[in-house]
Chains A and B, each alone.
Chain A
Amino acid sequence: MALFQGNNPIVKWVEYRLPIFSFIDAHLIDYPAPKNLNYWYNFGSIAGIMLVLQIVTGVVLAMHYTPHADLAFDSVEHIMRDVNYGWLLRYMHANGASFFFIAVYIHLFRGLYYGSYKSPRELLWWMGIIILLLMMASAFMGYVLPWGQMSFWGATVITNLFSALPWIGEPIVTWLWGGFAVDNPTLNRFYSLHYLLPFVIFGVVFLHLWALHHRKSNNPLGIDIKGPQDTIPFHPYYTVKDVLGLAVFGILFSLVLFFAPNALGEVDNYIKADPLVTPEHIVPEWYFLPFYAILRAIPHKLLGVIAMFGSILVLFILPWLDTSRVRSATFRPVYKLLFWVFVVDCIVLGYIGANPPQGAFLIWGRICTAIYFLFFIPVLPLVGWFERPKPLPTSIAEAVLAKSGGGMPEGAAAAPEGRG
């Protein structure tokens, strides 16, 4: 069902010079998607829209913000009090970052559950991790800009981590700061990079979607698309479903934005940065807490930094760590249990990250860090080898028909698919 027919002379004129209409047809309208995608598959498009929202709110906030250590905090209050709808734009941007991460984390865990990182989607998965890393860098620098106590001290703690690197550590930190401590030069360069990175993310998202469309989406059954009977056109099925998902996500976002806009933040950031007063507890934003817990679990400075970055970098080798030939956790009972243990472990790590690294918090922090890494090495490879998966359905179409009460009996099984 192509939306733009070739009869219109204007369409034909443009198409001949830049095939934008056929591009839209192929990738947004006729694009074949598996017919069995569930609501966990909404979060990719939600994340994309959150990126656009962050860019749009960010650009208009930049019209009123002043990136100077003496004026930044004041300019944010100017936005909150005097700029038309300034309070709305500021809260949208701050809470938008949180909801962007909520969408991306769910999107990531969905990929873990259904084996979307497995062949032939390894590079698609890599693009995703790169987007996550760029998001983290962006969010970290963005949080510094209001120049509150947490902005300043969070920046100080995290940039100081680089001093753990032997020999080059201290010069790198001085280079990052543009001085001998976090100060105005640091603020200015963070502002420049914070404005830049989201557009870099936009570019990587393009690569991410290109990779996706090349091999088509995975699906909850984890079995390949065999033919058109397994797919439905993106429009109207998934456009309409994405609108619904976005609306529900929007309700949740609005409830926080309008009725609890500071719930996800830190009260200390409403105090102007003071280099001579350290807050009682230096805590990053919630989406960094699990990594913060891992960092503080290791008693050695450099190893802690390596562990923290390692916890994300390990995701790059995941497609090769997981030796199972079955993609979806639906058919992998052992992996499914371990997946949920992993999810709980991440949540507990987040809670630990919010608390001082003492007593029970420290002990559990270390246990949960161990669980985190053990999940990847050696548990995942071992599970892949020794697990006996449940029988896979023959095709997506059969499974959908069976679910709706028709077609072949559910017992019909197929061999697990090899690497494509």
Chain B
Amino acid sequence: MSAEDGRRPSDAPSHQIEELERVTIRFAGDSGDGMQLAGLQFTNTSALYGNDVSTIPDFPAEIRAPAGSIPGVSSFQVSFSSHDIHTPGDQPDVLVVMNPAALKAHLGDLPKGGLLIVNTDEFTKPNLRKALYAENPLEDDSLVAYRVVKVPVGSMNARALADSGLNTMQIDRSKNSFALGLMFWLYERPLDSTIRWFEEKFARNPEVRDANITTLKAGYNFGDTAELFPVRYHVAKADLPPGRYRNITGNAATALGFVTASKLADLPLFYGSYPITPATDILHELSRFKNFGVKTFQAEDEIAAIGSAIGASFGGFLGLTGTSGPGLALKSEALGLAVMVELPLVVAMIQRAGPSTGMPTKTDQADLLQVLFGRNGESPVAVVAPATPSECFTYAIEAFRLALRHMTPTVFLSDGYLGTGSEPWRVPAADELPRIEVKFAKDADAFNPYDRDPETLARPWATPGTPGLEHRIGGLEKADVTGNVSYDPDNHEKMTRFRAEKIARIANDIPDLEVVGGESGDLLVLGWGSTYGANLSAVIRARKEGLAVSCAQLRYLNPFPSNVGDVIARFDQVLIPELNLGQLAMLVRSRYLVDAVSLNKVTGRPFLIAEIEEKIHELVGSKVKV
């Protein structure tokens, strides 16, 4: 083994420390190689150390694609930095590959000169064949553009665990820990958090626990003694706002937000859901929160999931369902029912690439129009969309606040990138969170099921068990005030307009769209949801170059904040980057009659900062102010 770092002078002192602002590492291997685990541990350790972090996992939809095949490659990218970062990085600086398939799948993303750490043990003839390599890339000159470090991870790990008492297969499963240890050494990370994690995770399996700890340390020590790397890297602590932090994925934050909403509203939460990628984590998380009175219901199908949630809402509880695109399609009719009966229901919708089954583990924003319009009849719902993993917490609470105050189904619109990505979350103090006010109808004398609050147009919430308020609701059109079935033409028009106006008035209850950068200028980058990180990073760079570019991220998609039209009018051009073929752009163009420019991407992957930057340059690049 030798360090093939062309830059290393032979007499250099080993282990200089080089200071870096930001490093992006991608761990890639077979889906059985434990890359997600290695990535997560590296992330947690870096976060604990005080870096800002941002992550993106990428894994196949198959539980076990054929071992060693390209479709079976699983990866985890973590970016960590000494300053505030908003994306998991466009390209990795370091690529760790555990087999030829991982090299084949990911090498294209590694910039020339990037550090490539290769587990040489897996570069056997059969594995090379599975990865469609005619020649061993480690033995020809195909990798000369990279700083290649060859490490026999598998055999080093096996040697470290020779006395562990585990069999060959069990030993091989620990090799990710060896690689992780090596990366910890390279970036000066402490091992203690990961050791603690092994101790908890494998408490009942001491042999496996000890093996992982042993090989983790072996990997670390190997880095120290093998002189593979001339330099170690140091990424200083980030200057984050003071507070207590933890690293959190979007889906975990979503689940925490919902259970928090339940506490803030002082109403038990019901979650009806059918397992579907990438929303299932929310079901897993919420099912752990039983001591908060949360009742989770794994329904027989998507329709039962939303139906049961509507039943809970009808009963006066927090009715919640969660799904992804195909599931929302199945829920459409029931969501329309919730519109008609005007109950406070929340639908957590975690988008993935479609249509149909599409690419379940890949991200997308192509369900915006489905969420807004994918039902029969005029059936408006409120829609909120978090922009970062940790914001999922805030907007899960906000979804319930709006649903309860305005008596409307509300969609919490996230996506796979937000849901599975992670970042540090500044943990709030529970007692500082504003309570959610809930009003139930009680007074039988003054009760009509479809009376409306003069301000919000919300109807009263009268729940079974309340004496004197017995009434019937349903999917047939309701007569104004009484809620009786009505086929009266004028009534239908009136009720249709009430339902629309009720949603429109939510604009009075939400904050204005915030502009980052100048309040006016040559270009506004207008986005929604998970494009935030890339948009913001690109705009920051453009502004450093002197371009009059700003960005704004819509967190409310129905209704829009009331100042959107004014904001748009203050810029010469509007660019709308979306992971679809222009759905927000269609809405903005029709609503505000502005010639917005779309930037579209539907690869199942989030935008790179560079892609947004390039478009900014194309539109206003000539306008650099000197």
Tell me whether A and B are bound partners. no
- Please list the residues of chain A having a beta carbon within 8 angstroms of any beta carbon in chain B: none
